[in-house]
Chain A
Amino acid sequence: MKNIMKSMAALSILILMSCGGKEEKKKDGIQIGQKPAATETPKEAPVSDVKPSQTIDLTNKGIGPIKSVEIDATVDNAMAAKGSEIFKSKCMACHKPDKKFIGPAPTGIMERRTPEWIMNMILNPEEMTQKDPLAKALLMEFNGSPMANQHLTEEEARQVLEYFRTL
């Protein structure tokens, strides 16, 4: 089954390649030669000049199971510590706390996103990157590298959120 799917995928790619034609390929070659320009290309999609990762949107709650999150004025350190452990084992392969890696750094995210959006992005990344405009733009900004669904529980995602408050 897997193999069949794989060969189907391979077949579709071959078909796409054969449909694409040579010109497309040539364009690719040029883009590689102009790497800075290429990384800016996706920026043209959003209206503003601000990168999606820097865009501030404190109203969008995203799409997913989380409709509202209560946040205490003070950080719950015990909860944040648990979140930090989860982040280390399940997220760090792609997200470094304070620098862009495969995906964006979570430092400062609480100033740019609603807590609901953050948790929905953790819990429901497939649908978010297909339907949420901001998540879609982020996927483009990060080279189409998919946000992996690491199957955190809602409680674990909440702990990770608390950890983000400490960054």
Chain B
Amino acid sequence: MKKSINILFFLVIAAALVGCNNGNDKKGSKGQGGLSTNAAERVYVAPGEHDEFYGFMSGGFSGQLGVYGLPSGRLLKVLPVFSQNPENGWGYSEETKPMLNTSYGFVPWDDSHHPDISQTNGELDGRWIFINGNNTPRIARIGLESFKTEEIIEIPNSAGNHSSSFITENTEYVVAGTRFSVPVPQKDMSINEYKGNFKGALTFINVDQETGRMGIKFQLMMPGFNYDLSHPGRDKSHGWFFFTTYNTEEAHSLLEVNASQNDKDFIAAVNWKKIEEYVNNGGGTKVPANYAHNILDEHTHTATSTMLKEVLTVNPMDVPGAVYFLPTPKSPHGCDVDPTGEYIIGNGKLSADLTVHSFTKMLDAIENKKFDGEAYGIPILNFEDILAGVVKQPGLGPLHTEFDGKGNAYTTFFISSEVVKWKVGTWEVLDRQPVFYSVGHGMIPGGNSRKPFGKYFVALNKITKDRYLPTGPELTQSAQLFDITGDKMELLLDFPTIGEPHYAAAIPAELVAPNSRKIYKLAENKHEYAVLQDSDVRVERDGKEVHIYMNMIRSHFNPDNIEGVKVGDKVYFHITNHEQDFDVPHGFAVIGANNAELLIMPGATETLVWEPKQVGVWPFYCTDFCSALHQEMQGYIRVSPADSNIELSWSLGED
């Protein structure tokens, strides 16, 4: 055992050394080696030092949110959002299970795509971060004091919640557009009757500025296209929202061919202020719906799930002047708005050019009715009249564009696997750098706000291949950090990312770190089953349910001996962590638990259900190394036969 550990240890070190050498050699051969520049120095965050930025990378098919330090690329936390996380009991504990409730029942996973940080006056404010669940349409709000998912709202009438979650510049709304159009209301009908009958819902969710609480203000029921991505107008275009569409052909099969027929699809420009006014004056139609609204209360440490039964829908035809279509070549993917709000970039993923629309020209075209027909009654603006410019032949397969706040834009190209820097206004290409490999989104801290922090660009790559030591067929994804302060982008660092990050968001640490919560105050703990004083420790039976009111502190459980439980009982361990010091969580694990363990923060209460099936004396213990006596932090629960007469009893430190 000892020997093998030593061997393993040296292997790890050796592997690390070998890995470093390989990396240097390879980079060196590509002429971008860390040794020939001071790249290593620029991403090195010395032991004990902190990173300059928090980077939030969507967890993709993990359903979570990865929190990284930038520029080091160090993983700080995997923040559970839409998926159960046995590491800390998220979605397994009785308190957090309601967070994953939906109209489809308990959905313990999702595919998370686009995080967006709350803004005030178009600038990042560090209050909350929002992220979408793509598969079972949901939007989550994460508080940046606790770094905890505090709220999840389901989106009815939606399917494939992809053009989400993007927020307006004062966080008035979080917007969620559907990628897949569906029958609304859902019904049993032939798929080939799709055209003209399916709808695409664009959902505007308002946000309470004090609490962050979300509620659906209205759903704009659009024609049955695919609403792919979106971004808000900002500054001069504040009040508008822009959505790319594809499949304006309304194909329902073999989309890779059938949805690529039209020379142009649309960017839908939505004047949400106009619709808001319409709705505030009683406009819109309330329709029956069924969707979950889940809220985690930080004082009860408990989530509740409420099913809402109605939603307000708006037919775009009923609000004249609220929606226009901007023709945009070749199935545009990313829809990005520059910091001034003037330019709307359509990244036509099958096009070799980038199309840039002018907001000013758009308003002019609307005013002077420069229309080029209509689709389902929605005016189509004349392409030439709204065009600001074209970035000619920058690369193949443009997907997304971010901005540095210095007049430059950075577009990712999936097919040609590169990032291209170009000048906003002159549309000239200034620089291009290869990425390894096949970049999806790119991200500059604040790069989709009025005030970007144009120091770094992070390429979120889809394909990893040989960038790291191989780990069998399944690899992590890979991010690459560029320094963008100079004329040329400079690759500084590769780092692996969890799931498949789609979009990401980053914010200067100083806007978040000072507010970061350290503990929950015991005095503010309002959990129904909290044990706030040792005298409250007890075990109660209610039929076949046994409730254990337990507390924990370094390094014992109270009680730690429990008897009188029987096979067939449903045992609730309600455990309160009595620590009031930073970074002293305790874990709780009991043998044979069919759910997970718990990781309980100082001052919090959490509950694990355990259903013993076998007679015996079974141990439980703390899973988080908490003190020198951590190994002593354990207890026993005696399970007697179902027909036993043994009374409930509990104790700590008694013989």
* B-binding residues in A (CB < 8 A): 1-2, 6, 9-11, 14-15, 17-18, 88-90, 92-94, 101-102, 143-146, 148-151
Tell me the B615-655 residues at the A interface (CB within 8 Å): 624-625, 627-629, 653
Q: Name the contact of A150 in the complex, choosing from B6, B74, B75, B580 (C-beta under 8 A).
A: B580
Check if B653 sits within 8 Å of A151, measured CB to CB.
no
Q: How far apart are the CA atoms of A153 and B624 in the complex, in Å?
A: 27
Q: How far apart are the CA atoms of A10 and B625 in the complex, in Å?
A: 9
Check if B532 sits within 8 Å of A89, measured CB to CB.
yes
Q: Does B187 contact A (CB under 8 A)?
A: no
Check if A149 sits within 8 Å of B580, measured CB to CB.
yes
Q: Does B556 contact A (CB under 8 A)?
A: yes
Contact A6:B625 (CB < 8 A) given known A1-B74, A15-B9: yes
Q: Does B77 contact A (CB under 8 A)?
A: yes
Q: How far apart are the CA atoms of A145 and B631 in the complex, in Å?
A: 12
Q: How far apart are the CA atoms of A15 and B519 in the complex, in Å?
A: 32
- A142 nearest in chain B by CB position: B629
Check if B624 sits within 8 Å of A6, measured CB to CB.
yes
Q: How far apart are the CA atoms of A150 and B584 in the complex, in Å?
A: 11
Q: How far apart are the CA atoms of A15 and B522 in the complex, in Å?
A: 37
Binds A, one of B376-384, B440-448, B547-555: B547-555
What band does the interface of chain B fall in when counting residues whose beta carbon is under 8 Å from A? 20 to 34
Q: How far apart are the CA atoms of A18 and B554 in the complex, in Å?
A: 27
How far in angstroms is the closest Cβ of chain A from B89?
Answer: 14
Contact A94:B553 (CB < 8 A) given known A9-B625, A15-B9, A18-B6: yes
Contacts of A15 in B (CB 8 A): 9
Tell me the B1-51 residues at the A interface (CB within 8 Å): 2, 5-6, 9
Tell me the B595-632 residues at the A interface (CB within 8 Å): 624-625, 627-629
Q: Does B534 contact A (CB under 8 A)?
A: yes
> When A and B form their complex, which 7 residue pairs have the shortest distance between CB atoms, in order from nearest?
A93-B553, A92-B534, A150-B580, A149-B581, A144-B628, A18-B2, A88-B533
Check if B5 sits within 8 Å of A18, measured CB to CB.
yes
Contacts of B368 in A (CB 8 A): none
The winner among B522, B534, B535 for most chain A CB atoms within 10 A is B534
Check if B629 sits within 8 Å of A144, measured CB to CB.
yes
Q: How far apart are the CA atoms of A145 and B522 in the complex, in Å?
A: 22
Contact A17:B580 (CB < 8 A) given known A6-B625, A11-B9, A93-B558: no
Q: How far apart are the CA atoms of A133 and B628 in the complex, in Å?
A: 19
Q: How far apart are the CA atoms of A11 and B629 in the complex, in Å?
A: 17
Contacts of B519 in A (CB 8 A): 151
Tell me the B407-422 residues at the A interface (CB within 8 Å): none
How far in angstroms is the closest Cβ of chain B from A88?
Answer: 5
Contact A145:B554 (CB < 8 A) given known A6-B625, A88-B533: yes
How far in angstroms is the closest Cβ of chain B from A94?
Answer: 6
* A-binding residues in B (CB < 8 A): 2, 5-6, 9, 74-77, 519, 522-523, 532-535, 551, 553-556, 558, 578-581, 584, 624-625, 627-629, 653
Known: A10-B625, A144-B628. 6 other contacts (CB 8 A): A1-B77, A9-B625, A11-B9, A89-B523, A145-B629, A151-B580
Contacts of B554 in A (CB 8 A): 94, 145-146, 148
Check if A93 sits within 8 Å of B551, measured CB to CB.
yes
Contacts of A88 in B (CB 8 A): 533-535
Check if A93 sits within 8 Å of B534, measured CB to CB.
yes
Contacts of A144 in B (CB 8 A): 628-629
Contacts of A94 in B (CB 8 A): 553-554
Q: How far apart are the CA atoms of A2 and B75 in the complex, in Å?
A: 10
Contacts of B2 in A (CB 8 A): 17-18
- B557 nearest in chain A by CB position: A93
- B599 nearest in chain A by CB position: A2
Q: How far apart are the CA atoms of A42 and B341 in the complex, in Å?
A: 72
Contacts of B5 in A (CB 8 A): 14, 18
Check if A90 sits within 8 Å of B522, measured CB to CB.
yes
19 sampled A-B residue pairs with Cβ under 8 A: A9-B625, A11-B9, A18-B5, A88-B535, A89-B522, A89-B523, A89-B532, A90-B578, A92-B534, A93-B551, A93-B553, A94-B554, A102-B556, A143-B629, A145-B555, A145-B629, A148-B580, A150-B579, A150-B580
Q: How far apart are the CA atoms of A148 and B522 in the complex, in Å?
A: 14
Contacts of A93 in B (CB 8 A): 534, 551, 553, 556, 558, 578
- B532 nearest in chain A by CB position: A89
Check if B581 sits within 8 Å of A148, measured CB to CB.
yes
- A151 nearest in chain B by CB position: B580
Check if B584 sits within 8 Å of A101, measured CB to CB.
no
- B553 nearest in chain A by CB position: A93
Check if A92 sits within 8 Å of B653, measured CB to CB.
no
Contacts of B558 in A (CB 8 A): 93
The winner among A94, A148, A150 for most chain B CB atoms within 10 A is A148
- A146 nearest in chain B by CB position: B627
- B556 nearest in chain A by CB position: A102
Contacts of A1 in B (CB 8 A): 74-77
Contacts of B624 in A (CB 8 A): 6
- B581 nearest in chain A by CB position: A149
How far in angstroms is the closest Cβ of chain A from B57?
Answer: 15
Q: How far apart are the CA atoms of A102 and B553 in the complex, in Å?
A: 10
Q: How far apart are the CA atoms of A158 and B239 in the complex, in Å?
A: 56
How far in angstroms is the closest Cβ of chain A from B242?
Answer: 38
- B523 nearest in chain A by CB position: A89
How far in angstroms is the closest Cβ of chain B from A92?
Answer: 4
Contacts of B556 in A (CB 8 A): 93, 102
Contacts of B627 in A (CB 8 A): 145-146
Q: How far apart are the CA atoms of A18 and B624 in the complex, in Å?
A: 22
How far in angstroms is the closest Cβ of chain A from B533?
Answer: 5
- A86 nearest in chain B by CB position: B523
Contacts of A145 in B (CB 8 A): 554-555, 627-629
How far in angstroms is the closest Cβ of chain A from B537?
Answer: 9
Contacts of B535 in A (CB 8 A): 88, 92
Contacts of B77 in A (CB 8 A): 1-2
Contacts of A9 in B (CB 8 A): 625
- A15 nearest in chain B by CB position: B9
Q: How far apart are the CA atoms of A55 and B461 in the complex, in Å?
A: 65
Contacts of B533 in A (CB 8 A): 88-89, 92
Q: How far apart are the CA atoms of A101 and B74 in the complex, in Å?
A: 42
Q: How far apart are the CA atoms of A74 and B519 in the complex, in Å?
A: 36
The winner among B77, B553, B624, B627 for most chain A CB atoms within 10 A is B553
Contacts of A143 in B (CB 8 A): 629
Contact A151:B581 (CB < 8 A) given known A88-B533, A144-B628, A146-B627: yes
Contact A148:B653 (CB < 8 A) given known A89-B533, A93-B534: no
- B12 nearest in chain A by CB position: A11
Contacts of B555 in A (CB 8 A): 145
The winner among B6, B522, B578 for most chain A CB atoms within 10 A is B578
The winner among A143, A144, A146 for most chain B CB atoms within 10 A is A146
Contacts of A10 in B (CB 8 A): 625
Contacts of A2 in B (CB 8 A): 77
Q: How far apart are the CA atoms of A90 and B581 in the complex, in Å?
A: 11
How far in angstroms is the closest Cβ of chain A from B639?
Answer: 26
Check if B579 sits within 8 Å of A148, measured CB to CB.
yes
How far in angstroms is the closest Cβ of chain B from A54?
Answer: 21
